[in-house]
């Protein structure tokens, strides 16, 4: 198993938007713990049935379906879920924010998350299971990174049972394995609480947006 540690060529600059996003996700998780995980997921999670039909279940205490598309990308199902997403964002995000600028980086993050959730909804149109997580948004950052830094290298922790080591992995290979894993999972998945197509949808948005912005530079 490989866990990303840092971008070998990380620019020596601050990433205020990245720090803000991480802080917002962490703060939202604290709120979730305070109000109860089940309640928070039910109130702010994206229910595919609502998005696919363009109408609400009309159940008290739920946000409007359109608002859940934003709220859900800041909610997580547990500490591991949160930590995993934030780790990838912290490793791949600085370079992307540096190249795109603060405003574009924030737009990319939100757009990737929203489009990812919509992709999940339309591939599971009858599901009443709330979907949450920043995975689609983070996937968009990965897609942008791959486009902007095709020759980048990611220092990763190699875990083989009890053996630990670090290795520099080409970003293309690291992200490529991630994409293949999720593509296979998507083909094998039926109705699921894990928003596989949210990951892939967000990734595609990141690739397209970064490529268009890169050509304008």
Catalytic residue set: 135, 199
Q: Which residues of 121-157 are buried (b: 16+ CB within 10 A; e: fewer)?
A: bebbeebebbbbbbbbbbbbbbbbbbbbbeebbbebe
- Centre a 10 Å sphere on the Cβ of residue 107 and count the other Cβ atoms it contains: 14
Instruction: Please enumerate in sequence order all residues whose Cβ is within 8 A of that of 196, keeping only pairs 6 or more positions apart, or say none.
Output: 120, 182, 185, 186, 189
Q: What is the DSSP string of 39-82?
A: HHHHHHSB-HHHHHHTS----TTPPPHHHHHHHGGG--SSHHHH
Q: What six digits make up the tokens of 129?
A: 């299971």
User: Any idea which residue has 């912290």 for tokens?
Assistant: 90
**Can you tell me the distance from the alpha carbon of 217 to that of 212, in angstroms, rounded to the nearest whole number?**
9
Alpha helix stretches (DSSP H) within the chain: 16-35, 37-44, 48-53, 65-71, 79-100, 102-123, 135-148, 171-188, 196-216
């Amino acid at each position: 198993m490989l866990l990303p540690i840092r971008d070998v060529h990380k620019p020596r600059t601050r990433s205020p938007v990245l720090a803000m996003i991480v802080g917002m996700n962490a703060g939202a998780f604290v709120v979730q713990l305070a109000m109860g995980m089940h309640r928070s997921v039910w109130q702010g999670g994206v229910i595919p049935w609502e998005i696919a039909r363009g109408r609400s279940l009309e159940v008290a205490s739920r946000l409007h379906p359109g608002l859940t598309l934003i709220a859900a990308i800041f909610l997580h199902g547990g500490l591991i879920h949160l930590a995993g997403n934030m780790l990838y964002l912290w490793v791949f995000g600085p370079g992307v924010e540096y190249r795109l600028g603060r405003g574009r980086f924030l737009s990319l993050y939100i757009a990737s998350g929203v489009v990812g959730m919509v992709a999940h909804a339309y591939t599971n149109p009858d599901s009443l299971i709330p979907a949450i997580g920043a995975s689609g948004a983070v996937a968009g950052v990965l897609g942008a990174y791959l486009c902007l830094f095709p020759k980048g290298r990611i220092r990763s922790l190699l875990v083989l049972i009890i053996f630990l080591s670090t290795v520099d992995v080409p970003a293309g290979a690291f992200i490529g394995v991630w994409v293949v894993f999720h593509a296979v999972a998507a083909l094998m998945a039926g109705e699921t609480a894990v928003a596989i197509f949210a990951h892939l949808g967000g990734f595609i948005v990141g690739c397209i947006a970064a490529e268009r912005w890169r050509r304008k530079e």
